[in-house]
Amino acid sequence: MENEEENETMLEKMKEIIAEQLNVDAEAVLAESSFKEDLGADSLDLFELVMALEDEYSVEIPSEDLEKLTTVSAVMDYLKAKGVEG
């Protein structure tokens, strides 16, 4: 149950960051949302989003990992694998 709460907390925080960075409504951001197809992000948007996530979660996301991070849930899984908690 705690893990589910952590996921929900992380998702809510990520929604705020993504909505601010991509200038979209937070309600439009879902775990399965694709940054490019669903949220209309271009490469500059994604770069700025990654910088915001790195600042928020105190992690470094190498550029070679960016191509794998195409959805909100992929980023959440990536951050959890790096030891980030919700």
pLDDT class for 5, splitting at 50, 70, 90?
confident
Question: Domain 2-81 class?
Answer: mainly alpha
Q: What is the DSSP letter of 28?
A: G
**Which distant-in-sequence residues (6+ apart) come within 8 Å of 32 by Cβ?**
71, 72, 73
**Which distant-in-sequence residues (6+ apart) come within 8 Å of 82 by Cβ?**
57, 59
Phi, psi (deg, nearest 5) at residue 71: -130, 165
Residue-level pLDDT at 2 = 59
**Which distant-in-sequence residues (6+ apart) come within 8 Å of 34 by Cβ?**
70, 71
Annotated catalytic residue: which of 25, 42, 55, 77? Answer: 42
Residue keyed to tokens 């992929």: 74
- Rounded average pLDDT over 60-69: 92
- Give residue-wise pLDDT tens across range 8-59: 899 999 999 999 999 999 999 999 999 999 999 999 999 999 999 999 999 9
25 is catalytic: no
What are the sequence ranges of the domains in the chain? 2-81
